[in-house]
Every structure is written in structure tokens, then in C-alpha cells.
């Protein structure tokens, strides 16, 4: 239902009707629309963090693993456009963090926490200021999200601006983000 009509079209009453349950059962399971949508997104978040974890090589430098994680994030979004849009692009009611089965801050479950840890490691290695690790992770994440969201919304043949070849563009984006982060937030 979410994929066909989006989060705005979901009501607990419609879910109950579609599933063949009473509204009381659905209300007891989810309490509200925000909780229902949050729990519907949990498996997508777990799939994303798994894709990100799978590309990490402990023997490589931190920056190379950040590049790999960034590439995995973008690739996941492009391969799963409906799930990506629901999780990261669609306006929807937000439920309390506790209502998700994905544990906030758990590196094995939370994709943002997983990515953020690399910037914490970068700070611990003296490559960026320690008090800026989370800010740099957010900047990196937002840059990657920008590429995914624009490509999903406009497609490859958008006439208003020319698209570089996807992989070349992604490599350039990641290089620019990391070069800027290392320059702007260098350790004192």
C-alpha cells in the first residue's frame, strides 16, 4: 500500500481493511500511522546498513572505506528507488525512535550511525577535528542523498542539465566531499 499510494495515503483503517483484520487489531499492533510507517521502513534500513557493511575492508584506510560506504549508499538508493524514496524523500509522520525495531545508534542496524562511525574514526586518527566528526558525517550523507534524490526524481535524461556518466560522477562527488571535509574540518 505504501509503495502504490505513498505514506500520505495510508490510514490504519485502510491497512485493516486490506489485511482483513479489524481496526482494533491494527490499532493495538501499531498505535498510530507514524508507528506503522516506521516499522514498514525497518527492513529497508536493515538492508541498507547490510549493503554498507558488506563493502568495508578492515585492511583498507578509513578514507577508502568511507568511499566504499558512500558508493554502497548511492547504489542501494538507485537499485531500490521506492524504498529509498519512502525512507528518505517522502513527507510522513514521524514516530518516536523507540517504536522502530531498528535500534537508533546501533552500528549493526542504523545506517547513519554506521556511516558516522567512520568519521569518528577519521577524527580519532587526527584527520579531522574531533568535535566535527558528526557534522562531517552529516555533510557527507547529505551530499550522497542529493545525488540519489536528483537522479531518482529527474532520471538520466533530464534536459535541464547534462549528466556525467554515473560512476564518474559518483567518484567525483565523493572526492569533492572528502577533499572539502578534510580541508575545512582539519584537525588543529
* pTM listed for this prediction: 0.83
DSSP string, 68-100: HHHHHHHHHHHH-HHHHHHHHTS------GGGS
Residues 83-109 have a mean pLDDT of 76
For the cut 70, the answer to whether the pLDDT of residue 93 exceeds it is: no
Q: Which tops the pLDDT comparison, 105 or 61?
A: 61
CATH architecture of the region 39-184: Orthogonal Bundle (1.10)
Q: Specify the pLDDT at position 21.
A: 72
Is 78 in contact with 151 (CB distance < 8 Å)?
Answer: yes
Q: Specify the pLDDT at position 65.
A: 98
Burial class of residue 79 in the structure, from the number of CB atoms within 10 Å of its CB (0-12 exposed, 13-18 middle, 19+ buried): exposed
Give 155's pLDDT tier (boundaries 50, 70, 90): confident
Instruction: Specify the range with the lowest mean pLDDT, choosing from 85-89, 97-101, 178-182.
Output: 97-101
pLDDT, tens digit, 9 for 90 and up, residues 126-148? 999 999 999 999 999 999 999 99
Is 42 in contact with 102 (CB distance < 8 Å)?
Answer: yes
Q: Specify the pLDDT at position 38.
A: 62
Amino acid at each position: 500500500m505504501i509503495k502504490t499510494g505513498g505514506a500520505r495515503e495510508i490510514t490504519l483503517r485502510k491497512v485493516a481493511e486490506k489485511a482483513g483484520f479489524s481496526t482494533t487489531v491494527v490499532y493495538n499492533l501499531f498505535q498510530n500511522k507514524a508507528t506503522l510507517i516506521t516499522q514498514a521502513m525497518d527492513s529497508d534500513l536493515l538492508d541498507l546498513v547490510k549493503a554498507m557493511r558488506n563493502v568495508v575492508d578492515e585492511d583498507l584506510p578509513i578514507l577508502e572505506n568511507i568511499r566504499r560506504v558512500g558508493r554502497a549508499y548511492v547504489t542501494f538508493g538507485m537499485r531500490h528507488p521506492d524504498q529509498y524514496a519512502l525512507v528518505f524523500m517522502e513527507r510522513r509522520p514521524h514516530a518516536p525512535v523507540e517504536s522502530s525495531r531498528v535500534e537508533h545508534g546501533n552500528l549493526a542496524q542504523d545506517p547513519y550511525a554506521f556511516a558516522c562511525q567512520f568519521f569518528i574514526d577519521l577524527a580519532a586518527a587526527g584527520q579531522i577535528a574531533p568535535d566535527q566528526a558528526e557534522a562531517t558525517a552529516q555533510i557527507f550523507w547529505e551530499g550522497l542523498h542529493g545525488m540519489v534524490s536528483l537522479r531518482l526524481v529527474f532520471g538520466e535524461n533530464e534536459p535541464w542539465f547534462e549528466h556525467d556518466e554515473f560512476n564518474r560522477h559518483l567518484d567525483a562527488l565523493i572526492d569533492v566531499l572528502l577533499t572539502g571535509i578534510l580541508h575545512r574540518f582539519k584537525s588543529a
